[in-house]
Structure 1
Amino acid sequence: MRQDISFDAEGTTLRGWLYLPDGATGPAPAIVMCHGYSAVKELFLDAFAEVFCDAGFCALVYDNRNLGASDGEPRQEIDPHAQIADYRHAITFARSLDEVDSDRIGVWGSSYSGAHVLVVGAIDRRVKCVVAQVPLISGHENARRLIRSDLIAPTQGMFEADREARYRGEAPAMIPVVAPEGEPCALPTADSYEWFTTSGAERAPSWINECTLRSVEMFLEYEPGTYLPWISPTPLLLVVARGDHLTVSDLAIDAYERAREPKKLEILDGGHFDAYIADFERSSTAARDWFVQHLMAGAREHAHA
């Protein structure tokens, strides 16, 4: 069963869906979920939530602030640190629900939110299990894979000009999230353009192809991989796509070595966006099984205590 929900994130209302498992006889473990860079919940998060719900979990899915159905200004600003704080607000909200076993909360994220759950898992001990799918590991390293070396200085110049314009009271500069090859955008890969302009247009009419230029600057400064060693002893599943050249796979596999036990690495065959479609069965099943292993046994013990 799915119902619309909203909750307060220290003055900003975030909106989404709550999935409740059929036939639950008491509070169930919950998975808190939101999407990646600029994406909204209609872009396949419902499919993952349904898999988790069918396995007996509550699933709390919401749109990031400034995007989709959620409130927040400036619109289309993607602030990783605000999004991390909102994961924690969502966990607090989930724990307040009668249907949720507040001692059995997992977090799931993908791409940019896959990065966020690494941080949340390290700093918030209410989280008892983490699944990070095709996550960003290092904004600095990743940007140097995506931005040609001769364009790094001009890009930084754009950030500086935008900062000074905002100081003068001008509106934040905007940039497309995706664009045809060779045109400036936040996610400059061909598969990013393909996925957002086909799946995005079909499944998520609320998705908007722009973000603040400042969002790209924050991406370059974001280092979620720093937190990997601190997630332990919370169980971590890292789902990596072998052909990922957006959040590049070798950085993620290298980062896995820095995480401590308990941990597991699942390597999908396809590219970054195949995790949602072509490799969906593998990516969703791996996540479901990890959550079952680490949250369900505890839930049964808790229920019988």
Structure 2
Amino acid sequence: MGRRDIEFDAEGVILRGWFYRADGVSGRAPTVVLAHGFSAVKEMYLDSFAEVFAAAGLNALVFDNRNFGDSDGEPRQEIDPWQQVRDYRHAITYAGTLDEVDPERIGVWGSSYSGGHALVLGAIDRRVKAVVTQVPLVSGSANIGELVRADFRAGFRAQFDADRAARFAGDPPAMVPVVAENPLAPSALPTADSWTWFTETGKTRAPAWRNEVTLRTVEMLGEYEPESYIGRISPTPLLMLVARDDHLTPARLAIDAYERAREPKKLVILPGGHFDAYVAGFDRASGPARDWFVEHLGAGA
């Protein structure tokens, strides 16, 4: 299978990634657009998913989110979810300019934070003909309510307000770790499995990953509500992959959101926790996603 480096202009910011050519296809092929979740970079197993899709006759376009990895953008390490949604749309536009891509057969895949983006994209961008969302964030406010103790929240609010004033005065943004070894220490993703996956994957696959995001990133997370769009995805086909023991983006929140989606839709319950979909449970997660795209986009001509 062929993979080449790509870059494209997202209204003034250059985003970079990889394009995987569909195996055994000579003409235009359906294409899946993929970006990663909260602070992660493309080397953290997105290549594995893209290879599965390409082997099934699907092109795959993978890119690093702005402010992260190989992509440009400032401030570094800041996640604005709505900007990331817009960048997916730029990626879809770019894909449509490529000779190998059938612009009428484009799907989006997202995981965790970008799983929320996939829900929004399915609702607002009708160029998207199939959606796969894996272990998705469906509600930022509900997610923070699950992960942050109630008696800590006022302190976070005071930090957000102080950071806003400092940035207005010209100071650099305050930073917070993505993960911490002690789940009770300040971090954006305060679970033990988050610490394990990010630190191990960063060490073995993605040395460019950095364990920090801007404090404002966490504030914007709490404001982001992808589930409010889920009823509008129909008639675009939606596959949701939910991990049974997920406590980072809790399974029950995703399943509740799925019940509000309309047909055509499918729910697959994966064994294990949030990060198993990338590693131990990779085949269980990538197989249904591949099959969904082949069913609804077709294989390459």
Paired position in structure 1 for 2:231: 229
Q: Deviations over 1:218-266 (max 9, x none)?
A: 0001001100000000000000000000000000011100000000001
Q: TM-score, normalised by structure 1?
A: 0.97
Matching residue's letter, 2:98: L
Q: Deviations over 1:176-210 (max 9, x none)?
A: 10011221010000000000011121100110100
Paired position in structure 2 for 1:74: 75
For residues 24 and 238 of structure 2, the distance between their equivalents in structure 1, rounded to whole angstroms, comes to: 29
* Equivalent runs, 1:207-286 vs 2, <5 Å: 207-286=209-288
* Contact kept? 2:23, 2:56, Cα under 8 Å: no
* Contact kept? 2:35, 2:65, Cα under 8 Å: yes
Paired position in structure 1 for 2:95: 94
Matching residue's letter, 1:230: R
Q: TM-score, normalised by structure 2?
A: 0.98
Number of equivalenced pairs: 299
Residue of 266, 280, 294 corresponding to 2:296: 294
Identity of aligned pairs, percent? 66
SS in 2 for 1:207: coil
Q: Deviations over 1:47-102 (max 9, x none)?
A: 00000000001100000000000000000001100000000000000011000011
* Contact kept? 2:115, 2:136, Cα under 8 Å: yes
**Which structure 1 segments of 5+ residues have no match?**
301-305
* Contact kept? 2:23, 2:58, Cα under 8 Å: no
Q: Deviations over 1:1-58 (max 9, x none)?
A: 1000000000000000000023212100000000000000000000000000000011
For residues 21 and 59 of structure 1, the distance between their equivalents in structure 2, rounded to whole angstroms, comes to: 7
Paired position in structure 1 for 2:124: 123
Matching residue's letter, 1:3: R
Matching residue's letter, 1:198: E
Paired position in structure 1 for 2:198: 196
Paired position in structure 2 for 1:303: none
Paired position in structure 2 for 1:184: 186
For residues 99 and 137 of structure 1, the distance between their equivalents in structure 2, rounded to whole angstroms, comes to: 33
What is the root-mean-square deviation of aligned Cα atoms in Å? 0.8
For residues 225 and 257 of structure 1, the distance between their equivalents in structure 2, rounded to whole angstroms, comes to: 11
For residues 202 and 226 of structure 2, the distance between their equivalents in structure 1, rounded to whole angstroms, comes to: 26
**Which structure 2 segments of 5+ residues have no match?**
none
For residues 71 and 26 of structure 2, the distance between their equivalents in structure 1, rounded to whole angstroms, comes to: 31
For residues 192 and 55 of structure 2, the distance between their equivalents in structure 1, rounded to whole angstroms, comes to: 34
SS in 1 for 2:298: helix
Matching residue's letter, 1:143: I
Paired position in structure 2 for 1:148: 149
SS in 2 for 1:143: helix
